[in-house]
Amino acid sequence: MDAIDQIRNIVGDAGWVRDGEEAEPYLTDWRAVYKGSAALIVKPQNVDEVAKVVRVCAQAGLPIVPQGGNTGLCAGSIPDGSGRAIVLNLARMNRVRDVDPTNFSITVEAGTLLVNVQAAAEAAGLMFPLSLGAEGSCQIGGNISTNAGGIGVLKYGTMRDLTLGLEVVLPDGSIWDGLRGLRKDNTGYDLKQCFIGAEGTLGIVTAAVLRLVPRPRTRTTVLAAVNTLAQGVALFEQLQSEFPEKLSAFELMSDACIKLALKNVPAAVYPFDEPHSWYLLFDLEQKREGESEAELEALLGARIEAGGIEDVVVAQNLAQSGRLWHLREAIVEGERLEYGSVKHDISLPISAIDSFVGIAAAELEARLPGIRVAVFGHVGDGNLHFNIVRPEGMTKEVFYEAARPLTDYIYELVAQKGGSISAEHGIGRSKIAALARFKSPTEMSMMAMIKRALDPHMIMNPGKIFEDAHDRRQ
């Protein structure tokens, strides 16, 4: 019996996907840019099945592509076009195994949707604070494997900070039970760190113990308009000092973003009378309605007085808060519907944001007049979505061609400023060349040492993060 038949036997008839239309979503990436093919798409229902499947693959030398909700933006969870790999999809492993409110923790299987982890925490009177656009479709195993970020990182950290323990099937098919719910454990190397953010290249995360936090009672949402980015960063610094525990999100939006949202998303509402250059959207988590109202109004009033803020809206209720956040969310859709944009998910030291954006925007305009620099993101943790959009009247095909050297320029400036060319999206398949270019040889070689140590036969998610050795030989 060949390896594929053995795997079909392990998972049974409900555990694998037929070729054809049914298979499409497993082989195409979220942005529909990449399409691969697979020797088999397998959907095990428990960790023992995963381990047995991996053991067969290890013996047969079959590459494995672990897959969660397949919502990644770097094509990290689909196979290449060779048809050699199996896709191991975790969707059927979606149970909440345990909620422990006294320990502020929850144990879930990798295939659990992020939105269902949030719901299970809420049912226990607590909160799981990871929050991002794809939360209705992405799975927690994917969030772990990409060290997901989102809007709550400023206060609650990334997925790495929210992960207490892991269960992982290793590349030889053995199971590592590291499902500990501990805040402090210094018994040797912290092995879970190897798998968080490794994009499935070192093993398959099958379950996790996650940190929960007390649920905030209420939120105050504020949208402020400023003339310069420096004023925006200064506002962040002051809010972070005045309300360090309450400030749970601090988002930046450039003029170009807001214009695209208002142009292409009919439901988006602009709350000011005049146009402005930069917008800051932030949340203060509160225990009671109006808790910090007087202090916040004094702070904002003083900044308006001093010319540091042009205009401001403080949401008076949940509906208003929702409308402000909707504007932020409409940016992504507004940009997409303009057809012809290139995304850069970068991070910088917060102190370098202003000078980076100033230099980059001027240079980009000089190189391609009329280019729209749609900057938005999470200033509080230094993460900018620094996207560039075609000048009006230019076709997207012409723009994509013109944009290539602009991306190189942007990444070079990021590197100069001590930043990262992939803040929260990872490397996957689409950023491999950029990684090799901007990562030091020392770092690339350390990564390769760890890869070889844990996955000596190189079967885990080949062609992701690292170039595929098999491809290189051809």
Site for its own copies in 236-255 (CB under 8 A): 237, 240-241, 244-246
CB 255 within 8 A of CB 277: yes
Task: Identify the CA nearest to 127 among candidates 211, 213, 210, 247.
Answer: 213
If the CB atoms of residues 173 and 391 are measured against its own copies, the closer one turns out to be: 173
DSSP state of 273: S
If the CB atoms of residues 321 and 347 are measured against its own copies, the closer one turns out to be: 347
Measured CA to CA, the distance from residue 373 to residue 343 in angstroms comes to 10
Q: Is 227 in the site for its own copies (CB under 8 A)?
A: no
Considering only 119, 182, 318, 398, the residue that binds its own copies (CB under 8 A) is 182
Considering only 51, 62, 196, 460, the residue that binds its own copies (CB under 8 A) is 196
CA 220 to chain centre: 25
Considering only 5, 22, 24, 185, the residue that binds its own copies (CB under 8 A) is 185
Total binding residues toward its own copies, as defined by CB under 8 A: 83
CB 461 within 8 A of CB 454: no
Measured CA to CA, the distance from residue 194 to residue 201 in angstroms comes to 10
Q: Is 463 in the site for its own copies (CB under 8 A)?
A: no
Alpha-carbon torsion angle 27, 32, 33, 39, nearest 10: 10
CA 213 to chain centre: 20
CB 34 within 8 A of CB 78: yes
Give the HSE-up count for residue 96: Cα atoms under 13 Å, Cβ half-sphere. 18
Considering only 135, 310, 424, 468, the residue that binds its own copies (CB under 8 A) is 424
Helices (H), 208-278: 229-242, 255-264
CB atoms within 10 A of CB 349: 11
Expressed in angstroms, the distance from the first to the final Cα of the chain is 29
120-179 residues in contact with its own copies (CB under 8 A) are 125, 146-147, 149, 153, 157-158, 160-161, 170, 174-178
364-383 residues in contact with its own copies (CB under 8 A) are 378, 381-383
Least Å distance between CB 211 and its own copies?
Answer: 11
Considering only 183, 336, 367, 437, the residue that binds its own copies (CB under 8 A) is 183
Q: x/- site string to its own copies, residues 88 to 117, per CB under 8 A?
A: ------------xxxxxx------------
Task: Identify the CA nearest to 36 among candidates 375, 430, 401.
Answer: 430
Q: Is 317 in the site for its own copies (CB under 8 A)?
A: no
Least Å distance between CB 103 and its own copies?
Answer: 4
If the CB atoms of residues 87 and 423 are measured against its own copies, the closer one turns out to be: 423
Least Å distance between CB 378 and its own copies?
Answer: 8
Q: Is 9 in the site for its own copies (CB under 8 A)?
A: no
Least Å distance between CB 45 and its own copies?
Answer: 22
Q: Is 413 in the site for its own copies (CB under 8 A)?
A: no
Q: Is 36 in the site for its own copies (CB under 8 A)?
A: no
Parallel, antiparallel or unpaired: strands 163-169 and 204-211: antiparallel
Using DSSP, state whether 142 is helix, strand or coil: helix
Measured CA to CA, the distance from residue 179 to residue 53 in angstroms comes to 21
Q: x/- site string to its own copies, residues 322 to 351, per CB under 8 A?
A: -------------------------xxxxx
If the CB atoms of residues 36 and 149 are measured against its own copies, the closer one turns out to be: 149
Q: Is 412 in the site for its own copies (CB under 8 A)?
A: no
Q: Which helix (H) or strand (E) holds 87?
A: strand 86-89
For the chain, helix (H) and strand (E) counts, in that order, are 17, 19
Contacts by 265-270, CB closer than 8 A, 24 or more apart = 265/330, 265/333, 265/334, 265/337, 267/326, 267/330, 268/326, 268/327, 268/330, 268/334, 269/323, 269/326, 269/327, 270/327
Q: Is 421 in the site for its own copies (CB under 8 A)?
A: yes
Q: Is 438 in the site for its own copies (CB under 8 A)?
A: yes
Q: Is 213 in the site for its own copies (CB under 8 A)?
A: yes
Task: Identify the CA nearest to 85 among candidates 121, 39, 125.
Answer: 39
- Stretch of residues binding its own copies (CB under 8 A), selected from 113-121, 135-143, 273-281, 443-451: 443-451
If the CB atoms of residues 37 and 420 are measured against its own copies, the closer one turns out to be: 420
If the CB atoms of residues 105 and 254 are measured against its own copies, the closer one turns out to be: 105
Q: Is 425 in the site for its own copies (CB under 8 A)?
A: yes
Q: Is 294 in the site for its own copies (CB under 8 A)?
A: no
